[in-house]
Structure 1
Amino acid sequence: MSEQPRQLPPPSNPALLPVLATVTWAAAVVAVSGVISLLTDRDVIDYPDAGPLLGVAMVVAAGVLTWFGCWRGVRASAPWAVALLTALGSFAAFVVVGAVGYGAIRASGAWMLLAAAHFALSPFVLAAAALSFLAAVGTWALSRPRR
C-alpha cells in the first residue's frame, strides 16, 4: 500500500487579513461607542435632526480608510507611519463626512463648520481613530512570518 502524499493547504488570500481587521474594527467602534455613551451619558450623534444614517455613513467612510491602511500595513516594514496615517485618515473621514452630511441636512455652511468642530472634539471620533491605529498595527503584527 502506498501512502497518499501530504497535501498542503492553498495559500491564503492576502486581502483576507485586512478585511477581517476592518470588520473587527467596526465591531470595536460600535462597542466602544456604546461604553463611552454609557459613561458620559451622551448620544453618539447628539444632533436630533441628523437622522439615522449619518453615523453609519461616518463609520463606513472611516472603515474604507481603515481597510486601506491595514492593507498597506501588511506590506510595510514597520507599522508606525502607516498606522498613524490610518488613524489620521479615519479621524478626517469621520469629521468630513459628519460635517458635510449634517451641513446638507441643515442646508447651511455655518452648520457644517459647527458640526466639523463638534465631531472633531467628540470622544467617539477620537476613540474610533485610536482603534484604526490599533487595527493597522495589529494587522501588521499578524502578517509577520512566525519563527
Structure 2
Amino acid sequence: MPAPAEDRRYATLVAAFSAMGYGALLVAAFGILSLLTDRDVIDDPDAGPLVGPVMTVAAILFVLLVLVRVGRATPLARQRPRLWLSLGVGLGAYLVFALVGALAFSIGTGAVLGFLGFAFSQLISPFAVAAGVAAIVVTLLFSLILASRGGGSERPEWPWEHNEQ
C-alpha cells in the first residue's frame, strides 16, 4: 500500500530540511576539524577550488535522495526509527564523498591514476569520516521525526481554529 499524498509531501519536506541541516552540519564539522587538525579539507594543491564543493554537494544530494525515497515509501503510521538505514546512509555518504571527489580530481587534473591516490587519501581523512557520521545522525533524526508524526500527533492549532460545533 503506497503512502497517502499528505504523508509523501510531509516526508519530502522533512527530507529537504534534513538535507539542508546535513549541509550546514558538514560545513561546521569541516571548519572545526580543519582548526583542530591544522589541515585543509583538500590537501592536494593540484585539486583546484571546485573539488571540495563538488564532494560536499554530492554527499548532500545522496542523503537527500535516500531520505526522500525512504520517507515517501512508507506511510507515516508505519514509520519507525531505523538504525540500519542510518548506518547504511552514513556509509554511502562517506563513499560518495570520497569517490566523487576522486572523480572530480581526476577529471580536473587529467590524471587517471590520480583517482586512486586521491580516493585513498580521502577515505582515510577525518573529513570523509565526518561526512559519514553526520549522515548517520541526520538520517536517524529524520526517521525519528517521521516516526513521531506517525504516532497520531497532529499539527498544533490556534484557539480560533478549533471547530466547536
Give the TM bin, normalised by the shorter chain: 0.7 to 0.9
Gaps of 5+ in 1: 1-10
Question: What's the counterpart of residue 26 of structure 1?
Answer: 23
Output the TM-score relative to the length of structure 2: 0.76
SS in structure 2 of the partner of residue 109 of structure 1: coil
User: Cα distance, 1:109 vs. partner?
Assistant: 2.4
**Is the contact made by 1:73 and 1:136 (CA closer than 8 Å) also made in structure 2?**
no
Letter paired with 2:115: M
SS in structure 2 of the partner of residue 51 of structure 1: coil
Question: What's the counterpart of residue 85 of structure 2?
Answer: 82
2:121 to 118, 124, 129: 118
**Is the contact made by 2:81 and 2:144 (CA closer than 8 Å) also made in structure 1?**
no
User: Cα distance, 1:72 vs. partner?
Assistant: 4.1
Alignment RMSD, CA only? 1.7
Q: Matched residues in 2 for 1:92 and 1:22: separation?
A: 17
Q: Matched residues in 2 for 1:121 and 1:77: separation?
A: 33
User: Cα distance, 1:110 vs. partner?
Assistant: 2.1
1:37 to 16, 34, 37: 34
Q: Matched residues in 2 for 1:108 and 1:63: separation?
A: 26
Question: What's the counterpart of residue 8 of structure 1?
Answer: none
Gaps of 5+ in 2: 1-5, 154-165
Question: What is the aligned length?
Answer: 137
User: Cα distance, 1:81 vs. partner?
Assistant: 2.1
What is the percentage of aligned positions where both structures have the same residue? 30
Question: What's the counterpart of residue 103 of structure 1?
Answer: 106
Q: 1:142 to 1:78 in 2, by over 3 A?
A: closer
Letter paired with 2:64: W
1:67 to 40, 64, 67: 64
User: Cα distance, 1:90 vs. partner?
Assistant: 0.6
Letter paired with 1:111: G
Does 2:99 match 1:92?
Answer: no
Letter paired with 1:96: L
Q: Matched residues in 2 for 1:139 and 1:119: separation?
A: 27
Instruction: Render the CA deviation track for 1:51-82: whole Å, top value 9, x for unaligned.
Output: 11111111111111111232245335341222
Does 2:131 match 1:134?
Answer: no
Q: Which portions of structure 1, spanning 4 or more consecutive aligned residues, are displaced by more than 3 angstroms?
A: 72-78
Structure 1 window deviating more from structure 2 (30-39 vs 91-100): it is 91-100
Structure 1 window deviating more from structure 2 (130-139 vs 104-113): it is 104-113
